[in-house]
Chain A
Amino acid sequence: MIRAGTDRQAGFALVESIAVLALSGLVLLTLIIASDLVSRNSAAAARSANTIEMLATGLAAVRRDLEGARFIRIGANPKDAVLFSGAAQSVALAVADDGTGAHEGEGLVLIETRASEGRNALVRSSAALIPGTKGFGGAKFANDAVLLSGPWTYRFSYNDPLAGTDGWSGAWTATDHMPAAIRLEVLNDSGGQALPPLVVRLRIDSGGCAEPARVDCPESAETEQTPDPNDNQTNDQNKNPSRQGDGTQQ
């Protein structure tokens, strides 16, 4: 009786073990299928994350340059041009430091779209800012660095603080002031946004007291009249009152 009971228990344990093995196999199979799906999706997500990371890194470099823009007027007249140029495919500006270490002091930066082998690259190049620079034409841009490269097109647009409510335009035509903000869109083949556009507000909105004929500063306002650029003597006296009779002039 006892033996018969033990045999039944042994038989039940065998069935139980087979059932567990079958269930385990089923679960393992499901897990393998699930893990395969997860790994494929993860790989796709990782590729997508890498693309976004690459875009983010490139856009961060653009943002750094645009935020560091300097307001430099190239003449003595308040209507003279500011050292800035913007088109739909490129932007050129003066910055405090071009970040290359190739030369000290301020520099010029050009960020432009270049096409090669079916891919569009957003390339940054820089040049030294030499005194007397009147524009970007004569600058020797070098130190090319590819910020973004891929099946995208890049489009800059500019916000004019003096141009009403919808001040965004594809090219910067004003010469005597700088845009309030710059937008960079990365577009895919279908013309859609590859990611939300980068909008950078330019931090510096004036050349300040250093700008000729500005009256931003209290003392300048008291002492400086709007100068006639041809009237050097008046301008000189205003800028350097101590010059007269200070004994340093030959």
Chain B
Amino acid sequence: MARSSDGYVTLAVLLVVGLLAAIVSSILAISRPALGLARLGGDEVAAEALLDGGLTTAAFLLFGAKQDPAKVNKLALHLHTGDANLTVADEAGRVDLNNADPRLLEGLYSAVGGNSLSAQAFASRVVDWRDSDSDLNQAGAEASDYNEAGLGYGPSNLPFHSVDEAHFILGLSSRDFTKLQPFLTVFSGTGKIDLLAASPTVLRAIPGMSREQLQQVQQARRAGQDRAKIAERIPEAAEFLLDKSSGVFRVNVEVKLKDGYADAAEAVIIAPQAEGSAEYRTVAWSKLAAPAPSQ
């Protein structure tokens, strides 16, 4: 009898413990989404802080410490909340829509394989858009041409405020615009190209650049030669080449928190106007797709 009563007591204890466990589980299950949301919010705040920290660090190193952009590029910052990886490129590695010579614009259009317009028409229409007059360049397009095409707008006769605005150029297809977009800017403030920062496509766009010269430039860059040394290999393109940094940089910041949360952003920053000032300007900023989580 004592054995059977022991079993009964055990059963009762198990029942009570089971009920308690069920209650605790249900409370946890109810609060879990809220806890997850709170954690996600915390991660977002931490990632934002890291993105800001990464950008500010890049600005300090480039403008304050005046470090070589090549040294700041690929810099990894390890902080207690996570890591921030910086990618830095001189904005003059892209072709500036507002300042580039029409020949450079033609070269870029050919280099990306644009086919909705002739290269000359593309360059002329860019110039007709950005110049303040209504004089038609050869194969270009002014307000009357846009009107005839039934478009409810015309060239602004102002500098492009963004690369996206080039999407409205008469006759330029979306496909061609998409091809051109990664190689264009409105921020470099120069019509010239930085040989150290230009992509192979932009290098191909430089008038007078042969295939052999392109290979030589790429080899020289890998060897760590400076702008002047590399430019010596393409003397006929000298008028399109920048002999110093533009002072405008595109900074890509990728952050990964300790728990695997990731985020990324890209900004274009400009050196402070006053010598010694710590205030750099951010002229473009966009969130990017978060990098893939680490395995």
Contacts and interface: CB of A to CB of B under 8 A. Distances in A.
Interface of A: 9-10, 13, 16-17, 20-21, 23-24, 27-28, 31, 34-35, 38-39, 42, 45-46, 49, 52-53, 56, 64, 67-68, 70-73, 75-76, 96, 104-106, 130-132, 203-212, 215-220, 232, 235-236, 239-243, 246, 248-250
B208 interface: no
A104 B133 CA distance: 27
Of A10, A24, A216, which is in contact with the most chain B CB atoms at under 10 Å from its CB? A216
Given A31-B19, A46-B30, A236-B131, A209 B283 contact: yes
B237 interface: no
Given A31-B19, A131-B154, A240 B162 contact: no
Contacts, number: 205
22 contacts: A9-B1, A17-B8, A20-B8, A49-B34, A53-B34, A70-B162, A106-B162, A131-B153, A131-B154, A132-B154, A208-B186, A209-B270, A210-B161, A210-B162, A212-B159, A216-B273, A217-B187, A217-B190, A217-B270, A241-B191, A242-B103, A248-B138
Contact of A206 (B120, B186, B281): B281
B294 to A, nearest CB: 25
Contacts of A9: 1-2
Contact of B5 (A16, A23, A28, A239): A16
A209 B168 contact: no
Contact of A204 (B131, B158, B282): B282
B161 A104 contact: no
Of B103, B127, B161, which is in contact with the most chain A CB atoms at under 10 Å from its CB? B161
A128 to B, nearest CB: 10
Interface stretch (B20-28, B68-76, B108-116, B224-232): B20-28
Interface residues of B, number: 76
B85 interface: no
B216 interface: no
B45 to A, nearest CB: 12
B152 A217 contact: no
Contact of B268 (A13, A53, A208, A242): A208
Interface of B: 1-2, 4-5, 8-9, 12, 15-16, 19-20, 23, 26-27, 30-31, 33-34, 37, 41, 96, 98-99, 101-103, 120, 123-124, 127, 130-133, 135-138, 140, 152-156, 158-162, 164-165, 167-168, 174, 186-192, 246-248, 267-268, 270-271, 273, 281-287
**Interface SS majority for chain B:** mixed
A68 B138 CA distance: 37
Given A20-B9, A45-B30, A216 B281 contact: yes
A13 B3 CA distance: 10
A203 to B, nearest CB: 4
A232 B188 contact: no
A16 B6 CA distance: 10
Contacts of A23: 12
A45 B138 contact: no
B189 A235 contact: no
B137 A236 contact: no
A130 B153 contact: yes
Contacts of B190: 217-220
Contacts of B267: 203
Contacts of A39: 26
